[in-house]
């Protein structure tokens, strides 16, 4: 189950990234699109 462990950690990291994107909202979107 080592592969599942790494997949779970990767999924949690994606959740953190999405949380940051939602937190910044339009400001972050404007920054990404210049």
**What does pTM read for this prediction?**
0.47
pLDDT of residue 11: 92
Encode pLDDT of 5-33 as tens digits: 889 999 999 999 888 878 777 665 666 55
pLDDT of residue 23: 77
Give the C-alpha distances (Å, rounded to integers) separating 12 from 3, 7, 15, 32: 14, 9, 5, 22
As given in the structure block, the two tokens for residue 26 are 């339009």
As given in the structure block, the two tokens for residue 20 are 């940051």
- Is the CB of residue 28 less than 8 Å from the CB of residue 21? yes
pLDDT of residue 20: 82
pLDDT of residue 14: 92
């Amino acid at each position: 189950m080592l592969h599942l462990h790494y997949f779970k950690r990767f999924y949690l990291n994606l959740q953190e990234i999405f949380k940051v994107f939602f937190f910044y909202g339009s400001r972050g979107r404007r920054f990404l699109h210049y």
